[in-house]
Structure 1
Amino acid sequence: MADELRDDLRAARRRSGLTFAAFAREAGYAESYLRNVENGTKPLTSDVARAYDRVLATGGEFSNAVDGPRRQEAPWNRQEALTILADMATGGGVDRRSFIVTSGTALTAVVGHWSDALTKQVRPVEVSDTAPDDVPKLVGHIEERLEYLRHLDDEFDSGEMARMARNELALLARLLEAGGLEATTESRAYSLAAEASRQVAWNLFDNKRHAAAEQYYHMALRSSAEANDVLTGAYSMSFMAIQHYTEGDPNDAVKLLETAEETTRHRATPRMRAMLAARKARALSKAGDRRRCAQALTTARDLLDLGPSDEDPEYLYWVTRGEIEMIAGSSALELGDPAHAVHCFNTAVRAESPEEVQYPKGHAIYLARAAEAHLALHDLDAAVDQARHAGKCLGSVESARSSSTLARLRRQLGEHRGHPTVRAFLQDG
Structure 2
Amino acid sequence: MTTPLQLHPLHTLLARNNLTAAAYLKRVADRHKALGYGAMAFRKEKLSRWTREGTTPERTAQLAIASLHHIDLADVERFGWPDFLLLALNDDRIVLDSPWSPAGTVKVLTDKGGHVDRRGFLIATASALTASLAQWATAAPAVAVGDRGRRVGTGAADLFDVRLEALRHLDDTVGAGQVYDAALLELRLITDLLKDASYSETTGRRLFGCAAEAARLAGWCSYDAGRHAASERHFLTSLRASGSAANPTLGAITLAFWANLRYNAGDPQGALHLIDGALADRRNITSPRVVAMLHARAARAHSKAGEPTAAWHQVDKAFAAYDTAPPPDEDLPSMYWINHGELHQVAASSALTLGEPKRALENFTAALDHADPYDTQREARGTAIYLARQAEAHLGLGEVDAAVEVGHQVIGAMGGVDSARTTDTLTELREGLSSHQDVPAVRDFLAYAA
Give the TM-score range, shorter chain: 0.7 to 0.9
Q: Tell me: CA distance 1:152–1:4, structure 2 relative to 1, closer, same or farther (3 Å).
A: closer
Q: Which residue of 2 aligns with 1:299?
A: 317
- 1:243-322 alignment to 2 at 5 Å? 243-309=261-327, 311-322=330-341
Structure 1 runs (4+) deviating above 4 angstroms are: 2-6, 8-11, 33-43, 62-65, 352-356
Cα-to-partner distance string for 1:339-375 (whole Å, 9 max, x where unaligned): 1011111111212658443211111111111111110
Q: Which residue of 2 aligns with 1:110?
A: 132
Q: Which residue of 2 aligns with 1:241?
A: 259
The residue identity in structure 1 corresponding to 2:178 is E
Cα-to-partner distance string for 1:169-223 (whole Å, 9 max, x where unaligned): 0001110110421111111000000000000000000000000110110000110
SS of the aligned residue for 1:152 comes to helix
- 1:266-415 alignment to 2 at 5 Å? 266-309=284-327, 311-351=330-370, 353=373, 355-415=375-435
Q: Which residue of 1 aligns with 2:110?
A: 86
Q: Which residue of 2 aligns with 1:427?
A: 447
SS of the aligned residue for 2:436 comes to coil
- Any unmatched runs of 5+ in structure 1? 12-23, 44-61
Q: Tell me: CA distance 1:84–1:130, structure 2 relative to 1, closer, same or farther (3 Å).
A: closer
Instruction: Return the alpha-carbon distance in structure 2 between the equivalents of residues 170 and 147 of structure 1.
Output: 17
Instruction: Return the alpha-carbon distance in structure 2 between the equivalents of residues 324 and 419 of structure 1.
Output: 34
Instruction: Return the alpha-carbon distance in structure 1 between the equivalents of residues 182 and 294 of structure 2.
Output: 27
Q: Tell me: CA distance 1:148–1:94, structure 2 relative to 1, closer, same or farther (3 Å).
A: farther
Deviation at 1:129, TM superposition (A): 7.7
- 1:68-217 alignment to 2 at 5 Å? 68-69=92-93, 71-88=95-112, 92-97=113-118, 98-117=120-139, 120=140, 122=141, 124-128=143-147, 130-132=149-151, 135-217=153-235
- Any unmatched runs of 5+ in structure 2? 29-85
Q: What is the TM-score with the length of structure 1 in the denominator?
A: 0.82
**Contact map agreement 1:269 1:311 (CA 8 A) in 2:** no
Identity %: 35
The residue identity in structure 1 corresponding to 2:8 is D
SS of the aligned residue for 2:417 comes to coil
Q: What is the TM-score with the length of structure 2 in the denominator?
A: 0.79
Give RMSD over aligned pairs: 3.2
Deviation at 1:325, TM superposition (A): 0.4
Instruction: Return the alpha-carbon distance in structure 2 between the equivalents of residues 34 and 156 of structure 1.
Output: 45
Q: Which residue of 1 aligns with 2:42?
A: none
Instruction: Return the alpha-carbon distance in structure 1 between the equivalents of residues 87 and 345 of structure 2.
Output: 40
- 1:22-61 alignment to 2 at 5 Å? 33=18
**Contact map agreement 1:103 1:249 (CA 8 A) in 2:** no
**Contact map agreement 2:175 2:418 (CA 8 A) in 1:** yes
- Structure 1 stretch displaced more, 71-80 or 201-210: 71-80
Q: Tell me: CA distance 1:38–1:338, structure 2 relative to 1, closer, same or farther (3 Å).
A: farther
Cα-to-partner distance string for 1:45-103 (whole Å, 9 max, x where unaligned): xxxxxxxxxxxxxxxxx999633145312222222211111125xxx435411211113
Instruction: Return the alpha-carbon distance in structure 2 between the equivalents of residues 343 and 76 of structure 1.
Output: 45
- Structure 1 stretch displaced more, 251-260 or 228-237: 251-260
The residue identity in structure 2 corresponding to 1:108 is T
Instruction: Return the alpha-carbon distance in structure 1 between the equivalents of residues 25 and 6 of structure 2.
Output: 10
**Contact map agreement 2:176 2:419 (CA 8 A) in 1:** yes
Instruction: Return the alpha-carbon distance in structure 2 between the equivalents of residues 212 and 275 of structure 1.
Output: 23
Instruction: Return the alpha-carbon distance in structure 2 between the equivalents of residues 38 and 207 of structure 1.
Output: 38
**Contact map agreement 1:156 1:398 (CA 8 A) in 2:** yes
Q: Give aligned pairs, total.
A: 388
The residue identity in structure 1 corresponding to 2:125 is S
Instruction: Return the alpha-carbon distance in structure 2 between the equivalents of residues 162 and 40 of structure 1.
Output: 40
Q: Which residue of 1 aligns with 2:436?
A: 416
Deviation at 1:116, TM superposition (A): 2.1
Instruction: Return the alpha-carbon distance in structure 2 between the equivalents of residues 168 and 9 of structure 1.
Output: 35
SS of the aligned residue for 1:76 comes to coil
